[in-house]
Amino acid sequence: MAETIRVMIPEDEVDKRIAELGAAISRDYAGKAVHLVCVLKGGATFMCELAKRITVPVSFDFMSVSSYGAGTKSSGVVRIVKDLDEPLEGKEVLVVEDIIDSGRTLSYLVDMLKKRGPKSVHLCTLLDKPDRRVVEGVVVDYVGFTIPDEFVVGYGLDYDQRYRNLPYIGVVEFTEE
Ligand code: IMP
Ligand code: MG
């Protein structure tokens, strides 16, 4: 099987949308500081690009959870692989994700973060696949793009750890050789 990447959202559109999200966040958090919580590894590229477009004071922290194995299907298990370095007490937390698929990861994460005493917890995701949602009640405050149910890569998203570096959103296609 040969793999090719079909472009779903080109680089200039991703960049433009991230600038819009940054402007919206800067407006909504006017007069406050925002504490970005990046969900590794997929959220890292998006968070860095987004942070550059935010004009209110920004701080970062990182955490890593795993809900997927090596393939493309959810195992349904969410495990903390790396926790945050800093407490969330009194902070305006904005969780930054690459994609919301089943919603399991975020719903688990948000519940956990809310117990740490932040002033607020909001969510920002580059991509949303609402057709795949199995967990109800996940409120996403900022969505870059709503996409159909296709397995995507690029801009931090991987297929078996590859393609995270693509500057656009693509779909892996398999063809017989
Ligand atoms: P959820 O818990 O099912 O919402 O999935 C969350 C995580 O699964 C995301 O943060 C991604 O790391 C991964 N994931 C879900 N869909 C895709 C995809 O289409 N491409 C690459 N990774 C994905
Ligand atoms: Mg992720």
- The yes-or-no answer on residue 160 being catalytic is no
Per-residue pLDDT at 45 exceeds 60: yes
The pairing of beta strand 169-175 with beta strand 2-9:
antiparallel
Mutational pocket test of ligand 1: of 37, 38, 98, the residue with most ligand atoms within 8 Å of the beta carbon: 98
Residue of higher predicted confidence among 136 and 15: 15
Check pocket membership of 151 for ligand 1, CB cut-off 6 A. Answer: yes
Average pLDDT, rounded, for the chain: 92
The residue extents of the domains of the chain are: 2-66+79-175
Q: Report the top-level CATH class of 2-66+79-175.
A: alpha beta
Residue 103 identity (one-letter amino acid): G
Question: What mean pLDDT comes out for the span 126-151?
Answer: 92
Give the distance, in angstroms, between the CA of residue 90 and the centroid of all CA atoms in the same chain: 23
β-bridge mates for residue 4, sequence order:
173
> 0.85 cut: is pTM over it?
yes
Check pocket membership of 125 for ligand 1, CB cut-off 6 A. Answer: no
Per-residue pLDDT at 88 exceeds 70: yes
